C-alpha cells in the first residue's frame, strides 16, 4: 500500500519516519519531495579499467567530488553519470520502503535517475545517481529534485537494513560487498 500525505504525517508525528529538515512543501499527495544537497561527484573518463574484484582501494582515481554553494549550481553534462546527495537525512521504520524517482519537471528535461530503493530500516542521506540529458543542465542545491513514494510492507521486515551505507552523510561512492 502506498502512503498518502495523511499517513506520512502520522508516521512523522509518531517518530517512526524521520525527515530532517522537514519543509512545508516536503510532504506531497502520495509521497515526499527531497532536495539536492551540496555534494556532487563526477566520474572521470579514462582508459583505466575498474576491476570489481581488485580495484576498490583505487576507486577515488575514477571520480572527483565537489561541494557546491546553494546559489552556485552544478552542471550535469550530456549523458554524464554523476552522484549527488539529498539535503535531507531520513530514517525509515521496519515496515516502510521508499521508491525514489526524479521529479517529472527534471525528467521532462531528459534527466534520468535509475531506480533506487530505500530499504526498510535505512537511515541517512540518500546518495543518488543522475544521468545527464542530451544537453547540459544546471542543478542547484536546495532544489526539490526527487519524489519518494513510501510503500508499507505487509508485516515489518525481519531484518531491517543495517548495511554498509547505514548512517551515510554526503555522497557515498560504491563500497565492495
Residue 172 within any structural domain of the chain: no
Residue 122: strand, helix, or coil: coil
For residue 48, pLDDT over 90 is answered with: no
**Backbone phi, then psi, for 140, in 5-degree steps?**
-125, 135
Domain range holding 21? 5-44+61-152
**Cβ burial 104-132 (10 Å sphere, 16+ → b, else e):** eebeebebebeebebbbbbbbbbbbebbb
Residue 112 within any structural domain of the chain: yes
Write the CATH number for 19. Answer: 2.70.40.10
Residue 89 within any structural domain of the chain: yes
pLDDT tens digits, 2-11: 999 999 999 9
Are 90 and 117 in contact, with CB atoms under 8 Å apart? Answer: no
Q: Which of 29, 70, 123, 129 is catalytic?
A: 129
Residue 18 within any structural domain of the chain: yes
Catalytic, 158? Answer no
pLDDT tens digits, 112-165: 999 999 999 999 999 999 999 999 999 999 999 999 999 999 999 999 999 999
Residue 173 within any structural domain of the chain: no
pLDDT at site 50? 86
Residue 38 within any structural domain of the chain: yes
Q: Which runs of E-coded beta strand occur in the chain?
A: 18-20, 27-28, 31-43, 63-67, 74-76, 81-91, 96-102, 116-118, 123-131, 137-139, 144-152
Number of domain units in the chain: 1
pLDDT tens digits, 51-72: 888 888 888 888 999 999 988 9
Residue 52 within any structural domain of the chain: no
Amino acid at each position: 500500500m502506498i502512503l498518502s500525505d495523511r499517513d506520512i504525517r502520522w508516521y512523522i508525528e509518531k517518530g517512526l519516519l524521520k525527515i530532517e529538515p522537514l519543509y512545508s512543501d516536503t510532504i506531497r499527495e502520495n509521497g515526499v519531495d527531497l532536495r539536492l544537497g551540496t555534494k556532487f561527484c563526477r566520474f572521470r573518463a579514462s582508459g583505466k579499467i575498474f576491476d570489481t574484484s581488485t580495484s576498490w582501494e583505487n576507486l577515488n582515481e575514477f571520480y572527483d567530488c565537489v561541494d557546491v554553494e546553494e546559489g552556485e549550481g552544478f552542471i550535469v553534462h550530456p549523458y554524464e553519470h554523476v552522484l549527488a546527495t539529498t539535503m535531507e537525512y531520513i530514517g525509515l521504520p521496519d515496515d516502510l520502503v521508499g521508491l525514489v524517482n526524479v521529479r517529472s519537471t527534471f525528467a521532462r528535461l531528459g534527466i534520468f535517475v535509475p531506480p533506487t530503493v530505500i530499504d526498510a530500516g535505512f537511515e541517512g542521506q540518500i546518495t543518488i545517481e543522475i544521468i545527464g540529458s542530451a544537453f547540459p543542465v544546471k542543478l542547484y542545491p536546495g532544489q526539490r529534485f526527487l519524489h519518494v513514494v513510501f510503500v508499507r510492507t505487509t508485516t515489518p521486515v525481519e531484518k531491517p537494513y543495517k548495511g554498509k551505507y547505514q548512517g551515510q552523510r554526503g555522497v557515498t561512492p560504491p563500497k565492495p560487498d
